[in-house]
Structure 1
Amino acid sequence: MRQQSPVQWSFLLSSRPARALALAGLVTLGACSRHEAAAPAPRPVVALAVHADGQALQAASLPGEVQARYSTPLSFRVAGKIIERRVRLGDTVKNGEVVALLDPADAQKNAASSQAQLDAAQHNLAYAQQQLERDRAQAKENLIAPAQLEQTTNAYASALAQRDQAQQQAALAKNQLQYTTLVAGHAGVITAEQADTGQNVSAGQAVYNLAWSGDVDVLCDVPESALASFAVGQPASVALAALPGRKFSARVRELSPAADQQSRTWRARLTLINPGADVRLGMTADVTPAAPAAAPGGVFTLPVTALFHQGRQPAVWVVRAADNTLELRPVTVTRFYERTIVVSEGLKDGESVVLQGVHTVSAGEKVRPIAPLHPEDFAS
């Protein structure tokens, strides 16, 4: 603005209207100057400095039970009356060992009848073959009509088919007789008795339950909060109540692809590595999955209200200490709890994280961090 000389000011102020106009102009210029200098105040946000827990995340243990990898029922393939049981609950059996017998009388008679039918069919076949050979020789000499040779040939083919049928019936009857003897198909331990001597059983009805020897599994039901720690191939630690003070290594072998409709848990099977002879089937176990990889120095526990998403990637809002502006930081969430989350990657110790209103802020926004009025609401 151009400066006015004293003479000019005295001229302007010599009249009352001019003096009022000049004063009004000065007030307007001062107000405009103050309006341009005023800057918007930083937006207050609820934020706290986060600190690492200082140790790797400890996974919660789950109850389990020791079981054989394979467990199958032993049953007869034919119906009958049990006349003998040779093993009892807890007995160890070998592959091919006889464990029970049915009354074989009916099966023996059926086998004898089938063998008699086979003998008769073989005799008829031998006779039909001899007759066919004679008729062929006579047909060469034109001693019989061609129709008679055709009849003989047909009789031989029918006798051959009857012999084959009788052979199959005899073999089937022989198998039925063998099925009256129950044999263990694998080495293992009898874990259940489901039929007694003198009882009539149907074909396929379980008499014993056999737990195979070999690999030993631990079964447990995994809730949704711990599902990430039970991927196939993931290592785990197993403690047995019957063997206090000892830890066994295990590895997740199988995980159910769907949750149980009632319990909403996933059935996991873990294979024990070198279990030893003192590990018995049916023992109760505590299964602890291997702790997931943590950030250097530990992991960070945050309230669930701090969680945001950048696309499909979990993220949190971090207040940069240099200029108090917001930055959307992608993070790795290791575990979800009812009120908190565990972050293993993406944060540094001492950084301020927005705890509330994460959907109302934007990247680059200048803010003023304030502590929550009730810190206990954000406690883990």
Structure 2
Amino acid sequence: MPSISPRRAAIAATLATLLLAACGEKDKKPVADAVPEVAVLTVAHTSLPVSIELPGRTAPFLLAEVRARVDGIVQERTFTEGSDVKKGQPLYLIDPAPYRATLASAEAQLQRAQANAVSSNAQLERYKVLVGGNAVSKQAFDNAQAAQLQAAADVAAAKAAVTTAKINLGYTSVTAPIGGRSSVSQVTQGAYVQGGSATLLTTIQQIDPMYVDLQQSSVEGLALRRDVVAGNIRLTGSDRARVSLKLEDGTTYPRSGTLEVSGVTVDPATGSVTLRARFPNPDHLLLPGMFVRASVGQGVREGVVRVPAPAVTRNPQGEATVMLVGADSKLQQRTIQTGALVDGHWTVDEGLKDGERIVVSGIQKLKPGIVVKATAAQAPQAVARAADKTAPQR
């Protein structure tokens, strides 16, 4: 039997391997590609609360400047600077000695006037009897009557002087006109103050509740009024608009406020109107003069389509697009017109209809035309929260 060379043996082995592989490919059945599963939300028009963010500064609810109302030397300061004081609490004591002397003199004048009045009344009563019997002249009777009226006037004037002296004596004890937080004292013990010039002693501010004065552009106010007239925005009735607050460090104030005053005059220098909101401040976290940003509710916009922000992408032309699942379970791309981004959702002005299904996850890996399996997504709020968690942190 002839021998086979090693080269021929290798070629034969290779051919056998190729034949076996070809037979295996014929016997192997093709495996269908897996159908991708996507989460979808059904488009529906809804109502959307409308709010606007405005800059502002805090202001005390009540502000009182404590001033001297009589002249004198400050003998004592009876409060701690920066502490809370109650209405009617004594704050300063001005030397009362001169005013006590004035009161004593006025009371003595009143007693003298009352004594003269008693004498004049008695004389007038006697003359009433005597003038009837012509024992005294008519002129004497008239003089007695005039003296009695003058004595009564002197008593009234003396009483007024006593009252004035008591008031001035009371002003020597300076009390708090309102309850609130006191500021730094402007005078010290031994200082001379004047009632005529109303020397400033200190200032008291009530900071619970607290006002927040906001500035709104007249253009924004005009746009809101037009939307209300057109029926695009429905006002929320007679209830005061709710206001939320962000502090200087970016944190949210834990308590909400109410809109108290909406200005009706545009400031020609700034082109804005002033809004005033009222906030509870039991912890005294807000202090007068702080810069804040407030979100003010302005009504409800009817018939709004909202789409979660992760569901919207941009094409090379910069247009907003979304992926829709058609009735045949195939993906199609749709160009839309978006409005404002509110709470992680885009408002859609044009491009979507009720009942259409929007893909809300994994859009970057999908292409139009492929068949997908659609499953209902979570509620819009849950989707927004999930998007916030997966969004990169700045």
Q: Does 1:219 align with 2:227?
A: no
Residues 238/120 of structure 1: CA separation in 2 closer, same or farther (3 Å cut): same
Residues 201/222 of structure 1: CA separation in 2 closer, same or farther (3 Å cut): farther
Secondary structure (helix, strand or coil) at the match of 2:259 reads strand
Hey, what's the Cα distance between the residues in 1 that align with 2:132 and 2:298? Answer: 92
Aligned partner (choices 236, 247, 261) of residue 254 of structure 1: 261
Tell me which residue corresponds to 1:288.
Answer: 295
Residues 75/218 of structure 1: CA separation in 2 closer, same or farther (3 Å cut): same
Hey, what's the Cα distance between the residues in 1 that align with 2:52 and 2:242? Answer: 14
Hey, what's the Cα distance between the residues in 2 that align with 1:255 and 1:189? Answer: 28
Deviation at residue 119 of structure 1 after TM alignment: 1.6
Hey, what's the Cα distance between the residues in 1 that align with 2:304 and 2:69? Answer: 62
Q: Does 1:104 align with 2:96?
A: yes
Instruction: Kindly tell me the number of residue pairs found equivalent between the two proteins.
Output: 257
Secondary structure (helix, strand or coil) at the match of 2:270 reads coil
Hey, what's the Cα distance between the residues in 2 that align with 1:173 and 1:159? Answer: 21
Tell me which residue corresponds to 2:202.
Answer: 208
**TM-score of the superposed pair, with normalisation by structure 1:** 0.57
Tell me which residue corresponds to 1:189.
Answer: 181
* Mapping 1:158-169, distance limit 5 Å: 158-169=150-161
Tell me which residue corresponds to 1:367.
Answer: none
Hey, what's the Cα distance between the residues in 2 that align with 1:185 and 1:206? Answer: 14
* Mapping 1:313-332, distance limit 5 Å: none
Deviation at residue 278 of structure 1 after TM alignment: 4.5
Hey, what's the Cα distance between the residues in 1 that align with 2:200 and 2:262? Answer: 28
Counterpart of 1:260, as a letter, is D
Deviation at residue 192 of structure 1 after TM alignment: 4.9
Tell me which residue corresponds to 1:264.
Answer: 271
Hey, what's the Cα distance between the residues in 1 that align with 2:136 and 2:48? Answer: 101
Residues 153/102 of structure 1: CA separation in 2 closer, same or farther (3 Å cut): same
Tell me which residue corresponds to 2:285.
Answer: 279
Secondary structure (helix, strand or coil) at the match of 1:219 reads strand
Hey, what's the Cα distance between the residues in 2 that align with 1:258 and 1:121? Answer: 58
Residues 298/206 of structure 1: CA separation in 2 closer, same or farther (3 Å cut): farther
Percent pairwise identity: 20
Query: Does the 8 Å CA contact 2:124/2:145 hold for their aligned counterparts?
Result: yes
Tell me which residue corresponds to 1:240.
Answer: 247
Q: Does 1:89 align with 2:86?
A: no
Hey, what's the Cα distance between the residues in 2 that align with 1:264 and 1:79? Answer: 46
Counterpart of 1:281, as a letter, is L
Instruction: Deviation per CA, 1:56-107: give whole Å up to 9, x if none.
Output: 6985633333333221212233343333222243211112111112222332
Q: Which blocks of at least 5 consecutive residues in structure 1 are unaligned?
A: 1-51, 300-333, 336-343, 352-380
Hey, what's the Cα distance between the residues in 2 that align with 1:93 and 1:85? Answer: 13
Secondary structure (helix, strand or coil) at the match of 1:297 reads strand
**After the TM superposition, which of the residue ranges 133-142 and 57-66 deviates more from structure 2?**
57-66
Q: Does 1:115 align with 2:117?
A: no
Hey, what's the Cα distance between the residues in 1 that align with 2:286 and 2:216? Answer: 23
Counterpart of 2:351, as a letter, is D
Deviation at residue 127 of structure 1 after TM alignment: 1.3
Deviation at residue 234 of structure 1 after TM alignment: 2.5
Hey, what's the Cα distance between the residues in 1 that align with 2:192 and 2:268? Answer: 37
* Mapping 1:132-147, distance limit 5 Å: 132-147=124-139
